[in-house]
Structure 1
Amino acid sequence: MTPFLTLQGRRALITGGTSGAGAATVALFHQLGAHVLTAARKRPADLSGAAFVEADLTTRAGVQAVVDAVHRELGGLDILVNVLGGSSAPSGGFAALTDEEWDKEFDLNFFPAVRLDRALIPGMIAQGSGVVIHVTSIQRILPLHQATTGYAAAKGALNTYSKSISKEVSPKGVRVVRVSPGWIADPGSNGLALRIAEEAGISYDQAVQTIMDSLGGIPLGRPAKPGEVADLIAFLASNRASSITGTEHVIDGGTVPTA
């Protein structure tokens, strides 16, 4: 019996694949039969069956190292999933964001996707097929002004860029879709809560509640789990979603009150 969803034999690059939703996506893709490559600045203890390249994707040299690894390890690419993202910006609103902080936000949350696309999508076009998935964020429309203005702006740019290239490359056989998570409950994604707790002199649980309040609450009653985000990504990457392109898929437990 043919399984409902398979990625058997597909060649996939997943950035940000060593923690949180990225690691869950790597593990699921491997389980579904894909040949997976991921990258990070340091090799993790568990790669869930993926090939690995040590590289800093916030740099041009790091991106080139990953592109070279794609050709060396996979011999081409069928699926590109850009999960890489995050923020280390200080709280304090817009005035706390120096030029250096703005550079960091875009170098992590926007430019890696742009550079990888530029290097790898032409190969997909040449073979007549491919899927590009950019993980953005609901913060592009629901920013937390106290701490994540730069992150939200970078993800907003990624969202607009993704929509634009989908119009260009979808007629050539390459689907481009966006996955926009809300808050994901994972130790690797709770740095904001820890930082708020430290800076405000409150407990971690109080910081979590502060974030929930800033988001206006989560109607589902809880944040998303990394595996749930991975499930959505895998579906969109599969042939089950073969007519889906140019769209944004929100997974936020109902946090954003309007579409």
Structure 2
Amino acid sequence: MDYSLNGKVALVTGGTKGIGKAIADALRDMGAQVIVIARTEPEEALKEQHFIAADLTEAGTAEGISKKVIEKYGRIDIIINNAGANLSPGGGFSVLEDEHWINDWQLNFLSVVRINKAFLPAMIAQKNGVIINVSTNAAKQPIWEMTMSYSSAKAALNAYSKALASELGPHGIRVNVVSPGVVETPLMLEFIDNMAKASGTSREEAFKKVMETVNVPLNRMAEPEEVARLVAFLVSDNATYITGTNYSVDGGALPTM
């Protein structure tokens, strides 16, 4: 099986930490030129990767990024829309204000739409390319106490991705979704800490509640690299007939196939 990405140009949003960093490193190791987008510069210098600081929730940002990348590299082959987070407080509908819904939809849905729209003219002109939109299993199995607005934005992302795959297939462009479950990332640990603080419990008790709520048969969180390995397969030439599909990486937590 050929996992080489030599000569390919790949963009990874939210690529300085957690799942995004694992994906960016994997694509770099496969030979791709990787451009990493994040709000703030990484604590450690990126190895053989091009970093662009940007806030993707701001309208117009995506166009500026696209112009820089196409001018510098002349093409775009892979887009990994990984940037996203559960920004809102838990507790259900009564604690969610308009700003919570707007913030979650801006980051988890509209930022993806904007990046894809900005880069797709170049990808269509090439007549090939791959887009991976990183979603979450919470879009299929929302947890009202924890993920209501976040889940709704990611559910919209899933529907958008399916529609986009149908539209872009004739242009030689594949679009797939990867939906992680609970993954041991800085954002997840911060979420658990905030949950513990809000409930007046310890991190261990909050973690136990999350695992009991999600019900992971493998009984552990995923490592970011376990998600990255699936992404690496989907963007490679080993997956040239796979598009419009949503893959769960959740340790068996989703109760349906």
Partner of 1:183: 182
Which AA in structure 1 matches 2:23? Answer: T
Partner of 1:221: 219
Q: How far has the Cα of 1:144 moved from its partner?
A: 1.6
Of residues 10, 15, 22, the one that matches 1:24 is 22
d(CA) in 2 for partners of 1:41 and 1:74?
Answer: 22
Partner of 1:134: 133
Partner of 2:168: 169
% of aligned pairs identical? 39
d(CA) in 2 for partners of 1:192 and 1:42?
Answer: 19
Matched, 1:35 2:33: yes
Partner of 1:88: 87
**Residue segments in structure 2 that go unaligned for 5+ positions in a row:** none
d(CA) in 1 for partners of 2:190 and 2:199?
Answer: 14
Deviation readout 1:120-172 (Å, 9 max, x if unpaired): 11211111100010001100111121121010000000000000010011111
| Mean Cα deviation higher: 185-194 or 25-34 | 185-194
Matched, 1:51 2:50: yes
Misfit runs of 4+, over 4 Å: none
User: Does the 8 A contact of 2:2 with 2:237 survive in 1?
Assistant: no
| Mean Cα deviation higher: 17-26 or 73-82 | 73-82
Which AA in structure 2 matches 1:242? Answer: T
Matched, 1:155 2:154: yes
User: Does the 8 A contact of 1:93 with 1:145 survive in 2?
Assistant: yes
Q: How far has the Cα of 1:74 moved from its partner?
A: 2.3
| Mean Cα deviation higher: 91-100 or 18-27 | 91-100
User: Does the 8 A contact of 1:20 with 1:189 survive in 2?
Assistant: no
Q: How far has the Cα of 1:50 moved from its partner?
A: 1.0
Deviation readout 1:93-123 (Å, 9 max, x if unpaired): 1111111110000010001110111111121
d(CA) in 1 for partners of 2:240 and 2:72?
Answer: 26
**Residue segments in structure 1 that go unaligned for 5+ positions in a row:** none
Deviation readout 1:167-219 (Å, 9 max, x if unpaired): 0111110000010100101233322211110000101011001111111x111
Partner of 1:13: 11
Q: How far has the Cα of 1:46 moved from its partner?
A: 3.1
Q: Name the CA shift for 1:24/1:94 in 2 (closer, same or farther; >3 Å).
A: same
Within a 5 Å distance, the mapping from 1:55-66 to structure 2 comes to 55-66=54-65
Q: How many residues align?
A: 256
SS of the counterpart of 2:35? Answer: strand
SS of the counterpart of 1:88? Answer: coil
Q: How far has the Cα of 1:234 moved from its partner?
A: 0.9
SS of the counterpart of 1:21? Answer: helix
Partner of 2:118: 119
| Mean Cα deviation higher: 22-31 or 118-127 | 118-127
Q: Name the CA shift for 1:189/1:65 in 2 (closer, same or farther; >3 Å).
A: farther
Q: How far has the Cα of 1:90 moved from its partner?
A: 1.2
Matched, 1:70 2:69: yes
d(CA) in 2 for partners of 1:73 and 1:19?
Answer: 24
| Mean Cα deviation higher: 39-48 or 155-164 | 39-48
Which AA in structure 1 matches 2:28? Answer: H
How large is the Cα RMSD of the aligned pairs?
A: 1.2
